[in-house]
Amino acid sequence: METSCEQAESISARIDRLPECRAVWAFPIVASFAGIFEVYDLYETAYLPLGLAHDGIFTGGHSGLLGITDQATFAAATFFGMFLGSLIFSSVSDRFGRRPIFLWALVGYSVASLAMAGQTTAIGVNLCRLLAGVGLGVELVTIDTYLVEIVPKTFRGKVFAIFHFVAYLGIPLLALLAYFLIPISPFGVSGWRWIAVIGGSGAMVVWWLRRKLPESPRWLAQQGRIAEAEALLTALERRVEAELRRPLSIPLPTAFVPPRDGAFTDIFRPPLMRFTIMLLVFNFFQTIGFFGFTNWLPTLLAAQGHSVTKSLLYSLAVAVSFPIWPLLWSFTVADRFERKWLIVFSSGVTAGLGLLFSILTSGPLLVACGVLIAGANTLLSFSYHPYQAELYPTHIRARAVGFVYSFSRLSTVLTSYLIAFFLTNTGPTGVFVFISISMLLVMLSIGLFGPRTRGRALEEIEQSRRNGQAVYAACRDSEKR
């Protein structure tokens, strides 16, 4: 009879031998539906300030067009909430499971978004954004963890690319609604309020669909709940075999790390400390390039002298490209190249194109350059989300990812004000110089210190990390002798 450790090892190997088919793809596709409204809610920081300024809730004051200081506070409230959610609450999914946390986090930020639609003061709006950000921070970390654990190693990158394709449909949806609704007030209700209601209501509908997603078998195995993991995986295997009309191949043996409780301080000890420091630097600076462009695009265009209507129209044109790029990446580069080098390459492209964007004045050229920056940003995003989750063991994966990811949210809080400062005092050129320097630091952190993960089982990654630490410890002991 197999021991519990042998059974858990078998579960991990059985997950990784699953082929690409509808039964396996069903889980990430259903999970990605909620991603549409997560992204929609996240990118409201780029579009809603235009409507809030139009209603007089946000004011420009001495900062100039579109109330840049108020937009900075609006974005800062959102990302500070995500910082709190990622740092403080993401660890609960290591204790209580992935499924209940990503379900209830979705409810939390949806309710906060609906509440924001009824606010009449800047304080009320920003408070609701703070609460929505907490739910969003927990949700994004937990779903990354969940997908890494349930998807086979052979097409993990492709799954994250398709997830981003579906989720990024929320960006053109939001941009389209903003273009048509913000300048008007349908039925006497401001357009920005309709946008908030649509986002919150849509996410609640998707919550109902997500209820059918199972718990992560890998997490169950790590908790010693072998029977539940076996039942879930056996049911999935039967569906796969029925679809393929043939038996599944024999799973290849894989390394297994015995179930154990994880302390938060594990991520600050070898062998994980190296990756933690690397990812803290990476996360702090990558959001400057990603959100510094995406969340400020309408305002950056307006600062270059384009009207509000044209700024929204150009932003819509760029937004339409966001879901197209991950779909392209899914069948061209996903799982064909190491994720660390995709991160390095995309960061370099963003740095170069950002400087070009700052000096362009022609509308068509701005849109073309913006579309290419969107392509680089989506390549960066779908590459790093699985990458950082792959580097940590299952028993502390959520809290570890939550901690390092929280620094990207903290960075965005600070850079919201820095971008507002640079835009006011140096114009768009100063903003993009700031962005380019940040992306160069991203390239160095991952390029110099990042390990390879493509096509490797999560247990194999952890075992090689432990082996490397054992060799290091042996060498150190030898030197002492």
pLDDT digits (tens, 9 = 90+) for 115-147: 999 999 999 999 999 999 999 889 889 999 999
| Confidence (pLDDT) at 64 | 39
What are the backbone dihedrals phi and psi of residue 46, each rounded to the nearest 5 degrees, phi first?
A: -85, -30
pLDDT tens, residue by residue, 367-413? 898 899 999 999 999 999 999 999 998 888 999 999 999 998 888 87
pLDDT surpasses 60 at 62 = no
CATH code of the region 10-251+265-480:
1.20.1250.20
pLDDT surpasses 90 at 148 = yes
pLDDT tens, residue by residue, 201-250? 988 888 888 888 999 999 999 888 999 999 999 999 999 999 999 999 88
The phi-psi region of residue 254 (left if phi > 0; otherwise alpha if psi is between -120 and 50; otherwise beta) is: beta
Note the pTM of the prediction, 2 decimals.
Answer: 0.84
| Confidence (pLDDT) at 467 | 64
Distances (CA, A) of 380 to 41, 139, 152, 183, 279: 20, 20, 21, 33, 14
Task: Output the six-digit token pair for 350.
Answer: 């963003």
- Alpha-carbon gap, residue 360 to 369, rounded angstroms: 9
- Alpha-carbon gap, residue 335 to 156, rounded angstroms: 7
Mean pLDDT taken over the chain = 85
Strand, helix or coil for residue 402: helix
Percent of the chain with pLDDT over 90: 43
| Confidence (pLDDT) at 259 | 52
